[in-house]
Amino acid sequence: MVDLSALRAANANRFAQAKLTRAPEFAPVARRLVAAKTRYQPVSARTGVPWWFIAVVHERECSQSWRGSLAQGDPWDHVSRNVPRGRGPFKSWEDAAVDALVACAPFAARNKDWSVGGTLTKLEEYNGLGYAAKGRPSPYLWAGTDQYKSGKYVRDGVYDPNVVDKQLGCVGLILAMMRLDASIKLGAPTANDNAPPKTVNQTGQVVTPPHPDSAPATPSITRPAPGSIGAWIASLFKKAA
């Protein structure tokens, strides 16, 4: 079992020290992701997940292909064959992305910890916690930074400590994107921080239960319903006062 609290602390500490070692490779990808901000924002609005988090996952899972699902890169207009299997087909890339964030592990739409450590650990969960179990930094996050040297799962369950991951890690992508868009801030609260968790109903629609704070107050003696006899009596007392 991986201690997620310890992993969040470790990832936050690594982030504070991280420096890009392949900056020229990150820059063009970051520009491409930031250029699609308006495409990611509607999905963010529907799920509460920051748009740049969605962009980074999209790049890692399918090189930002708009034909590939955010969940695993399979075509979103077909039933997925890779894990998570059996998702779709969907009407659009956006619908597939919402499903991936709301209904598929690691359930990013349920995340309430968008601190540096919380955000990076949620990203790491997309690739699995095998590296954390070994006490090694995950290349999914750290490839292309000075926090990662070598070590990679070359296939399911097979770890080679000498292989270097050539893909660009999530942290380097985020750092490069932050240089282009000042609105990207790890640790900043999202608009939906206090919203209840979202679920998907049987028709595939996202359902958000009413927040307790938004429920109308129950009429009482001190809070009579508008237009009621109680409200009329209350108005008489106000006039008398």
Closest CA to 148 of 163, 133, 158, 159: 163
In whole angstroms, what is the distance from residue 10 CA to residue 15 CA? 9
Do 173 and 228 fall into the same domain? no
pLDDT (0 to 100) of residue 189: 46
- Is 118 part of a structural domain of the chain? yes
Do 186 and 214 fall into the same domain? no
Do 135 and 220 fall into the same domain? no
In whole angstroms, what is the distance from residue 171 CA to residue 117 CA? 11
Do 225 and 141 fall into the same domain? no
Please give the residue range of the domain that contains residue 105: 4-200
- Is 205 part of a structural domain of the chain? no
**Does residue 170 contact residue 43 with C-beta atoms inside 8 Å?**
no
pLDDT (0 to 100) of residue 188: 54
Q: What is the pTM of this model?
A: 0.77
Looking at this protein, which amino acid is placed at residue 64?
Q
Do 98 and 156 fall into the same domain? yes
Do 55 and 105 fall into the same domain? yes
Do 220 and 188 fall into the same domain? no
Do 165 and 57 fall into the same domain? yes
The continuous run of DSSP H or E covering 61 comes out as: helix 51-62
Could you list the mean pLDDT of each consecutive 10-residue stretch along the chain, which spans 241 residues?
93 95 96 98 97 97 96 96 95 97 96 95 94 95 97 92 95 96 77 41 43 39 47 44 44
* Burial (CB count <10 Å: 0-12, 13-18, 19+), residue 80: buried
Do 107 and 217 fall into the same domain? no
Q: Into how many domains does the chain fold?
A: 2
Six token digits for residue 67: 């034909």
**Does residue 117 contact residue 101 with C-beta atoms inside 8 Å?**
no
Do 19 and 129 fall into the same domain? yes
pLDDT (0 to 100) of residue 191: 42
Do 77 and 156 fall into the same domain? yes
